[in-house]
Chain A
Amino acid sequence: MPDYAVILVHSTSHAIQAERVLKRAGLTVKLIPTPRQLSSDCGSAVRIAAADQARCRELLAATGVPIDRVEEL
């Protein structure tokens, strides 16, 4: 299993919103420039621990943060 996953978003506004929601829930997150191999609307992406993917999806869905998709690194 890879160490990290990235949440891809459409807008940096959504990236900041996702970062905020996940940090408040106590998760370790980092904003990173979107890796070149991944196609995305937005130059920034939210890196999370790969093991946290399901929990992140749940949290973001529950708070209505719009995301594109989640990819493993």
Chain B
Amino acid sequence: MIYLDNAATSWPKPPQVLEAMARYLRDVGASPGRSGHRLANEAERLRFDAREAVASLFGARDPNRVVFTLNGTTALNLVIRGLLAPGAHVVVTGMEHNAVMRPLRALEATGVALSVAACGPDGTLEPAALAEQLRPQTRLIIANHASNVCGTVLPIRDIGAIARRHGIPFLVDAMQTGGCWPVNLHADNIDLLAFTGHKGLLGPTGTGGLVINESFDIDRLPPLICGGTGSRSEHEWQPDFLPDKYEGGTPNILGLAGLAAGVRYVLERGVDSIRAHEGALTQRLIDGLAAMERVRVIGTRDAGRRTAVVSFVVQERSPADVAQQLDEQFAIMCRPGLHCAPLAHRTLGTLPQGTVRFSAGPFTTAEEVDEALAAVARLSEARPRA
């Protein structure tokens, strides 16, 4: 079997992730923040390990400014719903995922105004195009660091500089870049960074969170979820300090144990090393697909400017049909369709059918890429099914 769906969820995971999760279930088991016995303390140590690892990955100085949520979508909702009141204006890019667009569309009905900074047909963005959209009422700028459809990396550092100049908080959706592309909270001028644990960070599903720069005053952002934290138990009001403010309810400590191990693997192997590995495979995929007469590759053909996400279409074949045959005939796992990102597909001109998406990961090999290319070549030359 060949797994080329790492942009959805990375797989396989490093063995250390499985070991860490098994160890938690076997030897620890308790919930952190509560009770104070040795197992509860050990659970809190595991959670803090995850905070330290994520802080290190994204260049955050204080691990307490890493707060964990159920996934990246919850972190995005926390910021979007917390910062945008009726009358507020928000600017996003033309490459956003529905994890950003759906909460914003829901808020539009309440009187929040939304502007989309147009991207080029290969998914690139001129920062000036975003600056043009700013208004006196703009309360938030959101940018997808890399597209989950075509892998194009957006110039977040420049966008962040624009946000700083105007004193507007800058939220980055780093779902596709965390762990496989350099992201630095401070150097990239990011105020709020939403990440997920189950993609490039190599952790399990059900993990993710928000990294909050010291540049952002948390008094401006109310919690999305209120509940027990183990702290200030005698009070019926949510704590106002980090990380407890945004971590009401028993956390997914099993997942965080795995996440800590996944991020430590990334840090040991090195983000640059993973990027180089994936970049070589991505260029191999792009070159191989582009050489096929009936195949069109979407986005830039330079793997140095994109993550390991390659979208393509096969003439006269629906993406769903191609993906189904890749699975059934060749045991190749990929993702067809719109990838929860209709806005990005509109920008790229691939609506309504979408694309077939191959996404390599840290454990994908060149041989697997070659097998996938051979399979697409056979499918693209075969007569379409009736």
Contact = CB atoms under 8 A, between A and B. Distances in A.
B229 interface: yes
Given A41-B232, A42-B231, A43-B35, A10 B244 contact: yes
Interface string A27-46: 00001111000000111100
Given A43-B34, A43-B230, A10 B63 contact: no
A53 interface: no
Interface residues of B, number: 26
Interface string A9-29: 011111111001000000000
A58 to B, nearest CB: 18
B interface SS class = loop
Interface of B: 32-37, 41, 44-45, 47-48, 51, 61-64, 229-233, 239, 241-244
Given A10-B231, A41-B239, 17 more contacts: A10-B239, A10-B244, A11-B64, A11-B229, A11-B230, A11-B239, A11-B242, A12-B32, A12-B44, A13-B44, A31-B36, A32-B36, A41-B231, A44-B36, A64-B62, A66-B64, A66-B241
Nearest to B33: A12
Nearest to B32: A12
Nearest to B45: A16
Interface residues on A, range: 10 to 19
Interface in A33-73: 33-34, 41-44, 64, 66
Contact of B241 (A11, A15, A17, A34): A11
Given A12-B32, A20-B48, A31 B241 contact: no
A17 B41 CA distance: 12
Contacts of A66: 64, 241
B36 A33 contact: yes
Nearest to B232: A41
A36 B51 CA distance: 29
Contacts of B34: 43
B145 to A, nearest CB: 27
B41 A11 contact: no
A41 to B, nearest CB: 5
Contacts of B36: 31-34, 43-44
Contacts of A64: 61-62
B244 to A, nearest CB: 5
Q: Which 7 A-B pairs have the closest CB atoms?
A: A33-B36, A16-B48, A12-B33, A44-B36, A41-B232, A31-B41, A12-B44
Contact of B63 (A12, A17, A32, A42): A17
Contacts of B231: 10-12, 41-43
Contacts of A10: 231-232, 239, 241, 244
